[in-house]
Structure 1
Amino acid sequence: MIESDRLKYHVQCRQADNGCQWSLRVALRQNLGYWEVRRVGGVHSCLAPTMSQGHRQLDSSLICRVILPLIQSNPSVSIPVLQGAVQASYHFKPSYRKVWMDKQKAITQIYGDWKESYNKVPKLLQALQSCFPGTICDLSVKPFYDGHLLVRDYSMFDKVFWSFPSCVKAFHHCKPFVSVDGMHLYRTYGGVLLIAVAQDGNSNVLPIAFAIVESESTESWSFFLTNMRRDVTPKDGMLVIFDKFQAIKATLISDDSGWHPPRAYHAYCIRHMAANFLTRFKSAEGKRYLINAAYSPSKAGYEWNMDALRGVSPTIIDWAGHFRKEIWLQHCESEHRFGHITTNLFECINVVLNDTRYLPISAIVRIMYKRLQKLFVTKGREEQSQLAAGCQFSQRLLAAIEKNGEGIPKMRVTHCDRRASVFVVEELEPFEGWGAVPSVFGYRRARVTAAYSNPSTIRAEAVFKVYEMGFSPIPDESMWAEWHGMRLCPNPVMRRKATRRPVSTRFWNHMDETE
């Protein structure tokens, strides 16, 4: 810029000192109300070292104005999508780094500062317990040191567990099993979000307990599973499915865990077992036989697949023999598994909650509450309408009956042993009206009921009771009671390195391939 005022601008090339002769002079035509180019001097004889698609006046305030609504709806929105939104609005494309920095500013505007969010956690939990009595919270802190000096007015965040009374009551009417796993958190401070997932009689997925910890250590899993066993899932005879992670296994088999048979049963996720198998033996054919053996509902089917696996490699049989059969084979623990042999329920929740891993810790707690609040309202209305329509069983069960009935019109039941789930049928020639014979419907119903070995959870009334309690609204933050305890600060160990773009800590393997 050579000269500028409210009536004229005179500019020259940035490379003028290197001999470039380009310049431009514009002036305002006041009587006509527009700017006019008066003179263009010379041509560019320079070559810019880089081609920039941005603009120096496209600052963070303008970028935030565009990307703020996108981040509010989806905090995990990618940077290229945000770049495209800015380019569509201003016809300039800012750099990746510039948009990434502005995204962090936008998240701070919406959800608050990461460091300060740790100090909000005790106040938020106190507010939840006040507006929603029965909310379960367990906050663990450590002394905070500045170098070698103890800071008495501060405590350092260690881990936190929470669950809501609606989730505790809902689990009494769900199938007696849970799937547990962890989800890594990113951005300024890391950590792991531990979640326990249940399922109602209509196959709806329901998270029931949460914890944020530093890492998936034995101490962290013991903290989570102990709180969950004591306050959320005290019923006996339930099943816990996990991914064969050693820290979870060590916690479950400890003497005072409360997760021992017959109070609780354990099961490995077959997808994680198959992924470990493929990493070790590099045999896709063997992996297929292993999965088929795990899913087989009968001992004969299991033995056939194991014989085929032995033909692939006898070493594989020795490897599989190190695992207790009831912990990975469906036919050994069929009455507890309800057809589940993987942690896919958690993976469903992982996808839904993927955007929360980029948020401050206090925002994670609030978003979990609001999403559960919305889920209970939506599912509660759906099940209430089913009861009003006179349905006695869940829609998932009725759909399974219809599907199983498609191939049965030529069958007749000659023997029925419900306890052993053994049915003897004979194939008949089709004739008109056979579908209305009661024995056929009885077979169809018995076949499906065998898959749902706990009939009380599949009734429409039981499914409605899962979502009957609901959630109270959280009052505005200005109405929360003051927190008179120590100020809370984050653990410096959990702070992620800021030397480059955040890198995912997840290792992708064969389990992530679509089968």
Structure 2
Amino acid sequence: MADHMQKTYGLQFHYTKLYRAHRIALEINEGSHSMSYAKLPAYARLVLQNDIGSIFKLQFETKNRMSDNPIFERLFVCFDAYKKSFLIGCRPFNGLDGYHLKGRYGGVLFSAISVDGNNGIFPIAYGVVEVECKNSWMWFLDNLRDGLLDDSDDMSLTFMSDRQKGLSNVISTIFHYVHQRICSSHLYQNLKAKHPAFVSYIRRELVNYCDSFFSIEKYFDTYKEMIHPLLDLAGLKDDAPNERALPPNLKRLPGRPHNIRKREVGEALPSDFKKRSSSIRCNIYKKEGHNRRICPRAGDAE
């Protein structure tokens, strides 16, 4: 943008001014985050009206005054088609995890997924919360239990998670009879290496040792349900001004933001780690320890 304004109009602008202009243009073309939060209640009503049996819950922060607008805090969505397909066709497996959102208002995306007969990831429910903690996981799993109804007490149901932020205790509190497992990548390789040898030794058909969830019938049952399409979302009407949902308050952490993500124990380094090394090498003197700007031979090179 700076080069275009300079070449076309002969004008120079500061970077921050160009950034603000670019952001305004994006909001005009794509809409703003704050207006999207304001449409959430209308979107929730539209989903519940078109997909009977679905769950769409919004939770707002506690108001200091009754005249204050509601401020978004949490969201939980579980479509009826996802719920029925999971109970009928998917394996009794539930994977839980949270992902940090990189948008302006932040937050954490919670997801509950299963696996179909073709080893494909099948979504069950998702939600957005303010932070990942024991209280937020309690709220998410409590809504998930309401979605699964009596099937949540199934003894064969297994949950897999990283057991962080008190998640293991929350699962035991809400789902009393389920099994819990930790994500282990080597488990599949061990079964793949040992099980075929056992099957070939007794000389029987491999299909006799496959669970019914791997059958074609179960796979079709998984995807026979339908999420009904919604009308044009551009026609959603906003609520009254005093009932319009506001985005969450911006939270600024103390200190400068980190440029490098904290990695888990045993996680591999990025492929371009050598390029981003902290060692300094001078282009003039061809030695490490200083750069071109403070090189004693910089004057001679010029």
What TM-score do the two structures reach when normalised by structure 2?
A: 0.71
Contact 1:240 1:266 survives alignment (8 Å): yes
In structure 2, how many angstroms separate the alpha carbons of the residues matched to 1:487 and 1:137? Answer: 17
Counterpart of 1:249 (choices 168, 187, 203) is 168
Give how far 1:58 is off.
7.2
Q: Provide Cα deviations, 1:160-196, integer angstroms capped at 9, x if missing partner.
A: 1111111111101101011111111123211001011
Counterpart of 1:179 (choices 68, 85, 95) is 95
Give how far 1:116 is off.
2.2
Q: Which amino acid aligns with 2:164?
A: F
1:444 and 2:206 correspond = yes
In structure 2, how many angstroms separate the alpha carbons of the residues matched to 1:295 and 1:473? Answer: 37
Alignment: residue pair count: 258
Structure 1 residues 457 and 103 mapped into 2: Cα distance closer, same or farther (>3 Å)? Answer: farther
In structure 2, how many angstroms separate the alpha carbons of the residues matched to 1:479 and 1:123? Answer: 10
Q: Provide Cα deviations, 1:395-424, integer angstroms capped at 9, x if missing partner.
A: xxxxx9xxx98xx8xxxxxxxxxxxxx768
Consecutive unaligned residues in structure 2, runs of 5 or more: 270-302
In structure 2, how many angstroms separate the alpha carbons of the residues matched to 1:220 and 1:190? Answer: 15
Structure 1 residues 156 and 296 mapped into 2: Cα distance closer, same or farther (>3 Å)? Answer: same
Give how far 1:246 is off.
3.1
Counterpart of 1:470 (choices 226, 233, 238) is 226
RMSD: 3.7
In structure 2, how many angstroms separate the alpha carbons of the residues matched to 1:135 and 1:96? Answer: 46
Contact 2:50 2:230 survives alignment (8 Å): yes
Partner of 1:270: 184
Q: Which amino acid aligns with 1:508?
A: R
Give how far 1:217 is off.
1.0
Structure 1 residues 481 and 97 mapped into 2: Cα distance closer, same or farther (>3 Å)? Answer: closer
SS in 2 for 1:180: strand
Counterpart of 1:215 (choices 131, 137, 152) is 131
Q: Which amino acid aligns with 2:5?
A: R
Give how far 1:474 is off.
1.6
Contact 1:129 1:135 survives alignment (8 Å): yes
Structure 1 residues 131 and 443 mapped into 2: Cα distance closer, same or farther (>3 Å)? Answer: closer
Contact 2:77 2:127 survives alignment (8 Å): yes
479-488 or 230-239: bigger deviation: 479-488
Q: Which amino acid aligns with 1:202?
A: N
In structure 1, how many angstroms separate the alpha carbons of the residues matched to 2:26 and 2:261? Answer: 23
Partner of 1:131: 50
What TM-score do the two structures reach when normalised by structure 1?
A: 0.44
Partner of 2:294: none
Q: Which amino acid aligns with 2:244?
A: R
In structure 2, how many angstroms separate the alpha carbons of the residues matched to 1:168 and 1:103? Answer: 42
SS in 1 for 2:56: strand
Q: Which amino acid aligns with 2:231?
A: P
Higher helix share: 1
Larger Rg: 1
Partner of 2:3: 54
Q: Which amino acid aligns with 1:163?
A: C
Q: Provide Cα deviations, 1:334-364, integer angstroms capped at 9, x if missing partner.
A: xxxxx7xxxxxxxxxxxxxxxxxxxxxxxxx
SS in 2 for 1:183: strand
Contact 1:197 1:207 survives alignment (8 Å): yes
Partner of 2:67: 152
The structure, 1 or 2, with the larger RCO (C-alpha pairs under 8 Å, 6+ apart) is 2
In structure 1, how many angstroms separate the alpha carbons of the residues matched to 2:184 and 2:25? Answer: 41
In structure 1, how many angstroms separate the alpha carbons of the residues matched to 2:7 and 2:244? Answer: 39
Q: Which amino acid aligns with 1:445?
A: V
Partner of 2:268: 513
Counterpart of 2:113 (choices 192, 197, 211) is 197
In structure 2, how many angstroms separate the alpha carbons of the residues matched to 1:156 and 1:113? Answer: 16
In structure 2, how many angstroms separate the alpha carbons of the residues matched to 1:107 and 1:196? Answer: 32
In structure 2, how many angstroms separate the alpha carbons of the residues matched to 1:267 and 1:165? Answer: 27
Give how far 1:157 is off.
1.4
Q: Which amino acid aligns with 2:56?
A: C
Partner of 1:167: 82
Give how far 1:204 is off.
1.1
Partner of 1:325: none
Q: Provide Cα deviations, 1:66-96, integer angstroms capped at 9, x if missing partner.
A: xxxxxxxxxxxxxxxxxxxxxxxxxxxx998
In structure 2, how many angstroms separate the alpha carbons of the residues matched to 1:128 and 1:242? Answer: 29
Contact 2:39 2:236 survives alignment (8 Å): no
Q: Which amino acid aligns with 2:225?
A: M
Give how far 1:119 is off.
1.4
Partner of 2:143: 227
Contact 1:163 1:210 survives alignment (8 Å): yes
1:112 and 2:28 correspond = no
Q: Percent of pairs identical after alignment?
A: 25
SS in 2 for 1:143: coil
Q: Provide Cα deviations, 1:113-132, integer angstroms capped at 9, x if missing partner.
A: 12222211111111111222
Counterpart of 1:457 (choices 208, 213, 222) is 213
Contact 2:114 2:123 survives alignment (8 Å): yes
Consecutive unaligned residues in structure 1, runs of 5 or more: 1-51, 60-93, 272-290, 298-338, 340-399, 409-421, 426-438
Contact 1:181 1:195 survives alignment (8 Å): yes
Partner of 1:11: none
Give how far 1:142 is off.
1.9
